[in-house]
A and B are shown apart, each in its own frame.
Chain A
Amino acid sequence: MTTPAIGSDVFRWPVIGPALRWKHARTTLQLVLLAVAALMVLHGLAGPQLAPANLATVLTWVHYRGLLIVALLAAGNLFCTGCPFILVRDAARRVHAPVARWPRWLRRKWPAIVLFVAILFVYELFDLWALPRATAWLVLGYFGAALAIDTVFAGASFCKYVCPIGQFNFVTSMLSPLELRAREPATCTACRTVDCIKGRRAPEAPLQVVRRGCELALFMPAKVGNLDCTFCFDCVQACPHDNIALAARVPALELADGRRRSGIGRLAQRWDLAALVAVFVFGALLNALGMIAPVYALERRIAAAIGATTEAPVLAVLFVIALGIAPAILLGGAATWSAMVTGSSLRRQLLSFVYALVPFGASVWAAHYGFHLLTGLLTAVPVTQSAVLDLAGQAWLGAPRWTWVGLQPGTVFPIQLGLLALGTMGSLGVTYLIAERESPSRTMAAAAPWVTLTLLLFVVAVWMLAQPMEMRAAGALG
């Protein structure tokens, strides 16, 4: 564990540092996002069912997704910090405190992976981006799920094991330039109260926790990287020694860190985390694929081959290919190749090297969501004007200026290419580091299969971005 230099600790920066460490900082951010979510839900349910003119669809599918990934890549997991689901959950826990523990057999990422895939599937099947009311219900569903799970099960069971957005954030936050870590390891070694995980107790009543510790079971002295960290700052508030830094670091380096992680274990021993990363990477390509013209021809071919007349079975086949067969062949092939040249086991190679694809996967998400954010950034203005008109009946913010949009789609293409190139280079770098760790004597030979796979995926992604876009709310079959 390295001690961050003072200058790299954001908590010690003027203005920003004290603001972040303010004990109500998270609640304030959550209240802002709760207010935005409430407006989105209201407009989604009661406003016009025209996606570009509704806050629910515009803010969810254009702004939230784009800003989420910008925040993750530029700073850290700030949208989990401001998560309004958890604010409502905390309020509900005042009424009904949970007593049960999340079932042991579910303490893996499998439920979240299933939900992640389900959301991607439903998004494509029902064209959620075009449905304000359905989008509003999706947001309400998240609130309901967080409430239902976390008022029954203690800790952050919803965040750690269920929330698909949370898992997306956890994986992407491995590329973030900031992480919470102990400022002075020696202070942690000497600490006997471990408030960062147990919570801070009231001096007069030692059984009462007045500032909770990490709900995701990340024990600060043994915490490695950002995985599973929601940036809630509970540990910061609980630590009596002011020994936790929001430290700058080299993004993505933790992907090659083979150490045991508190609350997680070793990455190379977790099939569920490997599967999550595979879904993250191939899901990025699949989600972007849904926006380009050739996918409709492909859907028609699949429909003809299986004799389908509705979209669901066609989409299911596409998902099985993209998230099952293709990853199995490509990842399995690369792992077999590297296992052959290094003499290591296929399992070890797969579970070690799959994390190298995270930077590439994140770059595909960033290129896709960044496109919508940049081309639609200013649409928040007219849709807000329109929402005020819809909800209040008065044009208090003026008539909607629908011509306020964003960058021209063509101008975003070089930015997308740059993001893909950065992500690919990141993946190549992490591949090398993992190969060096796993096979010091045969580094290049061990890395070669994964370098080949990364470059192949890069070519596929560039090809996809170069295709004409065809934003269709109806599948190939209507």
Chain B
Amino acid sequence: MHLQLGSWRDRHRVTRRGGPAARRPLAYIAGSCLALLAACTTPDGAAPPHLTISWTPMPAVDRESVAEIQLNEAMARPLTGARLRLEAFMTHPGMAPVSAVVEEQGNGHYRARLRFTMAGDWVVRLQGTAADGRRVEVQQEVRSVRWPVE
């Protein structure tokens, strides 16, 4: 079939009705997004506590490890009396997280027992409330969790 399709520009130029009014929705959407983004990026308050975790034994798939957690605030002052929960996520989204009960041992020292379910990189997240009501949220990577060597 041989057809005269006219000039290329004619074929692809779509005439729009409306002038500046037609541009308003775009401006509203862009403005709203910027406003929401600005609202969500308020600066954090106090610095989060410093988190140190030591594992016994080293984390391995399907083996319980004990996490010895030390939480210190500024000037190495122990964060005591916090009510915390621990969740561990794989760095890849969409995988099942694991959680553990966190028990306070005193002097900023907490303990949790955790069983990782898959090989790979994990992130351990501690969330909760400090004794003075402040929200506490800290996280730490646990890299290369592997199957235990028999």
Chain A interface residues toward B at CB < 8 A: 38, 42, 45-47, 50-54, 57-58, 61-62, 91-92, 94-95, 97, 99, 101, 127, 129-130, 154-155, 188-189, 194, 197-199, 202, 205, 207-213, 215, 221-222, 293, 372-373, 375-376, 379, 383, 390-391, 402-403, 405-406, 409, 468-474
Contacts and interface: CB of A to CB of B under 8 A. Distances in A.
Interface in B1-15: 1, 3, 5-6, 8-15
Given A51-B91, A213-B11, 6 more contacts: A46-B40, A198-B6, A210-B14, A375-B95, A469-B120, A474-B144
B92 interface: yes
A209 B10 CA distance: 8
A94 B125 contact: no
A471 B25 contact: no
Given A199-B11, A209-B14, A474-B143, A58 B121 contact: no
B118 to A, nearest CB: 7
Q: Of B22, B87, B96, B144, which is in contact with the most chain A CB atoms at under 10 Å from its CB?
A: B96
A38 B29 CA distance: 10
10 contacts: A51-B89, A61-B93, A91-B26, A95-B23, A375-B94, A390-B40, A468-B147, A470-B146, A471-B121, A473-B120
Interface residues of B, number: 45
Given A197-B11, A212-B14, A406 B94 contact: yes
Given A94-B22, A154-B9, A215-B12, A471 B33 contact: no
Q: Of B18, B36, B92, which is in contact with the most chain A CB atoms at under 10 Å from its CB?
A: B92
B5 A194 contact: yes
Contact of A99 (B9, B16, B36): B9
B51 interface: no
Contacts of B146: 470
Interface string B73-117: 000000000000001011111111101000000000000000000
A472 B120 contact: yes
A334 to B, nearest CB: 35
B136 interface: no
Kindly list the 8 A-B residue pairs having the minimum CB-CB distance in the complex, ordered from nearest: A376-B94, A471-B120, A46-B40, A62-B94, A473-B91, A208-B15, A130-B91, A52-B89
Contact of B144 (A154, A372, A472): A472
B53 interface: no
B144 to A, nearest CB: 7
Contacts of A390: 40
B103 to A, nearest CB: 20
B34 to A, nearest CB: 10
A402 B26 contact: no
A101 B96 CA distance: 49
B10 A471 contact: no
Q: Of A101, A383, A473, A474, which is in contact with the most chain B CB atoms at under 10 Å from its CB?
A: A473
Given A199-B14, A470-B120, A472-B120, A402 B41 contact: no
B46 interface: no
Contact of A50 (B12, B139, B144, B147): B139
Contacts of A129: 91-93
Contacts of B119: 293, 468-471
Q: Of A207, A293, A372, A471, which is in contact with the most chain B CB atoms at under 10 Å from its CB?
A: A471
B22 A402 contact: no
Nearest to A54: B93
B149 interface: no
Nearest to A374: B94
B94 A212 contact: no
Given A50-B123, A58-B94, A470-B120, A402 B11 contact: no
Contacts of A57: 93
B40 A47 contact: yes
Contacts of A209: 10-15
Contact of B40 (A42, A207, A208): A42
A127 B91 contact: yes
Contacts of A379: 93-94
A94 B18 CA distance: 9
A94 B92 contact: no
B37 interface: yes
Nearest to A50: B123
A52 B93 contact: yes
A471 B23 contact: no
A91 B93 CA distance: 33
Contact of A210 (B15, B99, B120, B144): B15
A376 B87 CA distance: 17
Contacts of A54: 93
B11 A198 contact: yes
A214 to B, nearest CB: 9
Q: Of A99, A198, A409, which is in contact with the most chain B CB atoms at under 10 Å from its CB?
A: A198
A222 B9 CA distance: 21
A188 B1 CA distance: 10
Contact of B95 (A155, A221, A222, A405): A405
A51 B125 CA distance: 12
Nearest to A51: B93
Interface in B116-147: 118-121, 123, 125, 139, 143-144, 146-147
Contacts of B41: 45-46
Contact of A53 (B9, B25, B89): B89
A91 B139 contact: no
A221 B1 contact: yes
Contacts of B10: 198, 207, 209
A471 B92 contact: yes
A474 B143 CA distance: 8
A222 B93 CA distance: 44
B16 to A, nearest CB: 5
Q: Of A188, A207, A211, which is in contact with the most chain B CB atoms at under 10 Å from its CB?
A: A207
